[in-house]
Amino acid sequence: MKLKIKGKMENCENCAIGKMRQKNIPKGPKEKSTKPGYRKYIDLKSSKYISTGGSKYWLLAVDEALDMKFSTFLKQKSEVKESFVPFLKELQHTYGIKIEHIRCDNAGENRALEDLCIEKGLGIILNIQHRKRHNKME
């Protein structure tokens, strides 16, 4: 397309917030999985803007072994379980990739996802990580 970027590239506000939030979550296992689908990491990010399609949330899933990323955009946080479980089933039935562990924070939508995975008998273990709290001096 022969486009040239002019001006100074600066980090956007959303990138800076994402990096700050990463520091709140304890680091994962020391040994990286080599089996595709063994462990996925998921996180939900909100935007202060609503997309043309009406989405306000971005769900990102990362496969640890492949370092492959999957994205979907949601209108509400409650849509996580309705959109992610069919994706997990598709990976298993179409591609033969069975997800064994999902690592996420302790947000309500992730606990609802865990409940649905148990209800559907998917055999997925959710490793829910609690965010570190910063003590403030009073």
* Domain regions of the chain by residue span: 14-25+35-129
What pLDDT is stored for residue 9 in this prediction? 72
Closest among 97, 91, 85 to 121, alpha carbons compared = 85
pLDDT tens digits, the chain, 138 residues: what are they? 787 878 877 777 777 666 665 555 556 666 888 998 899 999 999 988 999 999 999 999 999 998 899 999 999 999 999 999 999 999 999 989 999 999 998 888 999 999 999 998 899 999 888 765 544 443
> Strand, coil or helix: what is 107?
coil
Looking up tokens 């022969």, which residue turns up?
Answer: 2
pTM, to two decimals: 0.70
Work out the end-to-end distance of the chain between its first and last CA atoms, rounded to an integer number of angstroms. Answer: 55
| CATH match of 14-25+35-129 with 3.30.420.10 | yes
What pLDDT is stored for residue 24 in this prediction? 56
Looking up tokens 């403030």, which residue turns up?
Answer: 136
